[in-house]
Structure 1
Amino acid sequence: MDRWARHSAYSDPGRHAALLDQAEPDITTASMVAQNLIAHYRFASTPLPESSNDDINARWLSTILEIDQQRHGAPPTAPRPEAERVQGCCRDHTLIAVGILRQHGVPARSRVGFADYLRPESRVDHVVAEAWLGGRWVRFDPGLAGPRGRVSDPHDIVVGNDSPFLTAATAWSGYRRRGRPIDDLGVRGGPVEFTGPPFVLSYLIMDVAHRFGDELLLWDFWGAMPLPGAPIDYELGDVLAELVQRADRQDETAELTLLDLYQHDPRIRAGDEIVRHSPRGAPPVRVSLIQRSTSTRVAATISTD
């Protein structure tokens, strides 16, 4: 569990570590702080200022905390008006919660998949958190303040094939092994429709990256992630889905095999440079993860939730 109790480059708070020290290392507090610091860029209850639109690309927790402190300069539990919070999404709620828990030595990680409890009769792409507590991975949604849909307790979401939160691995396996439909999983209504197998495979690769500490933005693309119209590596998806599901059942051999695959297979691992697309339709750009810089624009575009 040590690998999940230490900060990743993404969850490292940098010079703002004291802010995380101030938060109690429990799921309830971590979720409350996440909701207090982040306003969802699409689903906020009040209009968000255009001046903070670029907040959504703050991939490092240290950057998110820096933006927050420039606006507020207050402890993370001090209430922020929604319109003055950092614009973000479920990935950012989760990164903050995971960062708080890791800061106190609690193993925690993010999971990428699909939720059926956020919008009526719809499975939405989503990121939640898991914390190792009481000898098990407790799955929770840092963006929820209370019950919603099939989730009666957002601080302990049931797991399994019928979970309200479907991991990308479970979605892929259900599709490939049992013919379960996944064409509704993805993004509709943006500049490009992106759903079904290519989207789920992309999220499966994303989930593996998050599992091992590369908590990238949901609109980052690399390796074998297939953009619409590109070839789909079904065999790779099958291998990853099986390993993730076995690892989720505490199969240590599968966990280590998955880690080795991620560390050495460029189809899966996010290398020194990725392509960042935009949920708002802006042209994609190349981003250096080593230099933490944005460089040239590239030719394609896609929109994700």
Structure 2
Amino acid sequence: MDYAKQTPYSDPGAHAALVDALPSDIPELVSVVQNLLIHYRGGGVEFTPDHLEEVNNRWVEAILSTDQQRNAAPLATPREPVDRVAGCCRDYALVTTSALRHKGIPARTRVGFASYFGPAFNYDHVVVEYWNGDRWVMLDPQLEPAEHWGFDVQDIPAGKFHSAAEVWRAFRAGEIDDSLYGVDPSLPLRGGWFIRTYVFLQLAHLMGDELLLWDGWGAMADNLEMDLTPTDEIAALLIAADNGDESATAKLRDRYREDPDLHPGNRILVHSPTGTPPAWFDLTTRQPVDGPLPQAG
């Protein structure tokens, strides 16, 4: 995949001129992204229901449309926190990736778990990797550089962030406590089944389907009562691809295209964190659709 090209999710569409004006310098670009977005759980703002619903913006074009309807100003023009678009780590990563691709810089979103938000727990997270001409550099555009992190958040060293595939392999080998991986230690959204769903998300993002973290499709499930061998195989290929194995990348591409359990297709099931009931969504029409929900068990 050519990571210098936009995907349907990262394409700014009608707002390309706004992205033209953004800087290529990484610290400056990240500052603009942080001026545009506010995290729906940690931003310190009391959101109205409509404002909170912005976390379900799937496309960068929709994020920018939401911003312009509210602010109608260049993206670098300062915005008050309450005027920023509600989003999550995925949105910080995708908007940054969009801006880098717009300038011809290869970039991609990375799905996994970060160890640096708190002690003894690994939080689900999405970061950015971009090609600096020599290597892939990992950065966290949600965070402002600060000494208390203990490392450069715009050049994350090994061991601070682990891909979902790496965590899955460690879980299957009995090397980790899976209850320490998830959304939050106070929530049931954690554990082996949760890690497995993120392997699917990691693959989708790698293949240019940078979906929301609460989108579901294919063989995703909230349990592990199934043959886990296919997940093991995908995780192994993802790890090999990350290590530069081109044959693994080609195998992933073929399996993703051919296996409906891996590819989201046209219709996904959305489990929004806003509290609305699960609902089907059509990725082709970009509209919600009616249909029976899967039965539990």
- What range is the shorter-chain TM-score in? over 0.9
Q: Pick from 198, 201, 210 the counterpart of residue 203 of structure 1.
A: 198
Distance 2:160 2:292 in 1: 36
Superimposed CA distance per residue, residues 94-134 of structure 1 (whole angstroms, 9 cap, x where no aligned partner) = 01000000001111000111111123332111100100113
In 1, are the aligned partners of 2:151 and 2:157 still within 8 Å (CA)? no
Amino acid in the other structure paired with 1:194: L
Tell me: CA distance 1:148–1:198, structure 2 relative to 1, closer, same or farther (3 Å). Answer: farther
SS in 2 for 1:242: helix
What is the CA-CA distance between 1:209 and the residue it aligns to?
Answer: 0.3
- Look up the match of 1:62: 61
Aligned twin of 1:242: 236
Preserved contact between residue 282 and residue 301 of structure 1 (Cα < 8 Å): no
Hey, what's the Cα distance between the residues in 2 that align with 1:87 and 1:128? 17
1:253 aligned residue: 247
The verdict on how the C-alpha distance between 1:297 and 1:29 changes in structure 2, with shifts beyond 3 A counting, is: farther
Written as runs of structure 1 = structure 2, the 5 A alignment for 1:206-245 is 206-227=201-222, 229=223, 231-245=225-239
My pick for the range that moved more, 38-47 or 85-94, is 38-47
Shift of 1:148: 6.5
Q: Distance in 2 between matches of 1:112 and 1:156?
A: 16
Aligned match of 2:117: 118
Q: Residues of 1 paired with 2:120 and 2:40: CA distance?
A: 22
Aligned length: 296
The partner residue of 2:168 within 166, 169, 172 is 172
Distance in 1 (CA, whole Å) between partners of 2:293 and 2:13 is: 34
The structural deviation recorded for 1:259 is 1.3
Match of 1:181 among 171, 174, 177: 177
Pick closer, same or farther for the CA change 1:10–1:195 going to 2, 3 Å: same
Alpha-carbon distance between aligned partners in 1 of 2:185 and 2:278, rounded to the nearest angstrom: 18
Larger mean Cα displacement after TM superposition, 217-226 or 140-149: 140-149
Q: Structure 2 unaligned runs (5+)?
A: none
Q: Which moved more, 1:235-244 or 1:293-302?
A: 293-302
Aligned to 2:270: 276
1:128 corresponds to: 127
Any unmatched runs of 5+ in structure 1? none
Equivalent residue, structure 1, for 2:136: 137
1:284 and 1:298 in contact (8 A); partners too: no
- Note the alpha carbon deviations across 1:235-278, whole angstroms, 9 max, x for none: 12211111111111111111111111111111111101000012
* Distance (Å, rounded) in 1 between the aligned partners of 2:147 and 2:261: 36
The Cα RMSD (Å) is 2.1
% same residue: 40
- Deviation of 1:206 (Å): 0.2
Are the counterparts in 1 of residues 120 and 180 from structure 2 also a CA contact under 8 Å?
Answer: no
Taking the aligned partners of 2:292 and 2:121, their CA distance within structure 1 comes to 32
Scaled by the length of structure 1, the TM-score of the pair is 0.91
TM-score, normalisation: structure 2: 0.93
**Equivalent AA in structure 1 for residue 256 of structure 2:** Y
Q: Decide whether the 8 Å contact of 1:188 with 1:194 is kept in 2.
A: yes
CA distance, structure 1, for counterparts of residue 65 and residue 295 of structure 2: 29
What is the CA distance between 1:186 and its match in structure 2?
Answer: 1.9
Whole-Å separation in 2 of the counterparts to 1:122 and 1:148: 20
SS at 1:54 equivalent: helix
1:72 alignment partner AA? N
